[in-house]
Amino acid sequence: MLQIDNRYQELNKFVREVCTGRPDDEQKATLRKFAAVLICGFVERSVEIVVLERLRNRAQPQVLAFIKSHFKRGTNYDCAAIGSLLERFDGEWKARFERAIQSNEAASESLKSIYSVRNSVAHGGTMGIGSSTLQQRFFDAKIVVDALIDATR
C-alpha cells in the first residue's frame, strides 16, 4: 500500500539518521525516544489505513465515518489489540493475522516493547532505547504491519 510504504520510507530515513547522525549522545538518546513514538504512530496509522481501505468498498459511508472516528481515540496497537480489532470485522482476518504473528513471536514482543518506551516517554518517564534495539523494533513493526496487510487481503 503506497501510503504505508511512503510512511515507512520517511520513518526509515529518520531512524537511520538518529542512530548514525552527528548529534551528541544526549541528543541521540532524546531522538531515539522520539523515534519510538513515531514507530508506534506508524503502526497505529497503518492499522487505520489498512482497515479503512479493506472496508472502503464494503461499507456504507456512515459506517466508514463511524470507523474513522474509532481511530481518533488512540490505541496502543500491539498484536493482541490488532487481533481484537480485526475480529470485529472478519474472524478470518484475525485468524490469518494470528497465524502470521505466531510464526514471528519476536516481532509481537518487540511491538509491546516499543509501546512501553512510547508510554514511558508520553507520561514523563525516563525509559530509553539504544540504537540497535530501536532499529530492531522498527524492523519488527514493519513485519507486524506487513502481516496485517497480508491477513486482510
Query: Cell match 510464526: residue?
Result: 103
CA distance 58 to 53: 10
pLDDT score at 116: 97
Question: Which range marks the domain in which residue 58 is found?
Answer: 26-151
The pLDDT tens digits of the residues spanning 11-37 come to 898 888 788 877 788 888 999 999 999
Q: Is the residue at 13 inside a domain?
A: no
Q: Is the residue at 105 inside a domain?
A: yes
The answer for residues whose C-beta is within 8 angstroms of residue 34's C-beta and 6 or more apart is 18, 121
Query: Cell match 513493526: residue?
Result: 141
Q: Is the residue at 15 inside a domain?
A: no
CA distance 133 to 107: 12
Quickly state the pLDDT bin for 140 (edges 50, 70, 90). very high
Quickly state the pLDDT bin for 52 (edges 50, 70, 90). very high
Q: Is the residue at 82 inside a domain?
A: yes
Number of domains in the chain: 1
Other Cβ atoms less than 10 A from the Cβ of 140: the count is 20
C-alpha cell at 18: 538518529
Q: Is the residue at 85 inside a domain?
A: yes
pLDDT score at 18: 81
The answer for residues whose C-beta is within 8 angstroms of residue 119's C-beta and 6 or more apart is 76, 125
